[in-house]
Amino acid sequence: SGTKLFQGKKILITSGPTQEAIDPVRFISNHSSGKMGAALANSFADQGADVLVILGHGAVKPQGSNIQIIEVKSALEMYEVVKEHHHKMDICVFAAAVADYAPKNVAKEKIKKAEEGMTIALVKNIDIAGTLGQEKKPHQIHVGFALETENEAFHAKEKLMKKNFDLIVLNSMKEAGAGFQLDTNKVTLFSKNGNELTSEILPKAQIAQLILQEIKKLPVEI
Ligand code: PMT
């Protein structure tokens, strides 16, 4: 039929890297390009949803109509924006690569070169998905990602439970053609109700469509 899968549903997607400032010219970040998040945003919009993307600085912007973008830099900024909008959402997808740590102090001036090495004290960032997972209502769906380099399936399933996700998408980092930056990915999806599905290496647009299909199968009435 011509019915769209997510007609009128409200979707929030976090995407891209966070930047944690060290001083006015330096930061800690990671390799996320935002391509996976953009592909998801476009797929949801194609399926009739109203999409809000909370986007890390410099990440790829989704193009479709019905997509609103709010740009942020740090994990804390990302958290504050996600928190403000969370209660209105039917589905939240946490595709951002959030820095787990941030510099304890942000220097006001550019840090001068020292003669010896230097150490930057770090503090733990807030866990955006984990914190909002505790506020999730029975009619809301949370989808997480996992980026692991060892015991991948074990850690992914642990994150599924710990962060109260309904579905988690594990990236196959050991596979050429999967993960950060690339236009393709290979993933395994683990759902809360025990379903498991591994994809081929596919364009991120197709990976996004696969994720949407699995979300549709979840036993949650949104
Ligand atoms: O952007 P691309 O270049 O296209 O690459 C896509 C991607 C590999 C970045 C993406 O598919 C992905 O896996 N994103 C999550 C990466 C990550 O941070 O994984 P994690 O295992 O550290 O975190 C687990 C989950 O908790 C994720 O849903 C993450 O968004 C969330 N999280 C993590 C830490 C934190 N402080 N807050 C969070 O919300």
Mean pLDDT on 172-200: 90
Q: Which protein residues touch ligand 1 with a CB less than 6 Å away?
A: 14, 32-36, 75, 94-98, 100, 125, 127-129, 144-147, 159, 163, 171, 179-181
Question: Per residue in 73-96, is it b (16+ CB within 10 Å) or e — as a string?
Answer: bbbebbbebbeeebeebbbbbbbb
> Whole-angstrom Cα distance, residue 96 to residue 67?
17
Please check the confidence at residue 1 and state whether its pLDDT lies above 80.
no
| Residue 159 annotated as lining a ligand binding site | yes
Task: Identify the CATH number of the domain defined by range 10-217.
Answer: 3.40.50.10300
Residues of the chain above pLDDT 70, percent? 100
DSSP 3-state assignment of 19?
coil
In terms of DSSP H, where are the helices of 117-203? Answer: 128-133, 152-162
By most ligand atoms within 8 Å of CB, the mutation choice from 145, 148, 188 for ligand 1 is 145
Q: In the chain, what are the domain boundaries?
A: 10-217
Could you tell me the pTM of the whole model? 0.97
What is the distance between the alpha carbons of residues 19 and 103, in angstroms, rounded to a whole number?
Answer: 11
For 5-43, what is each residue's pLDDT tens digit? 999 999 999 999 999 999 999 999 999 999 999 999 999
> To the nearest 5 percent, what fractions of the chain are helix, strand and coil?
25, 30, 45
pLDDT in tens, 141-151: 999 999 988 89
User: Over pLDDT 90: what percentage of the chain?
Assistant: 86
Q: How far apart are CA 31 and CA 181, in angstroms?
A: 7
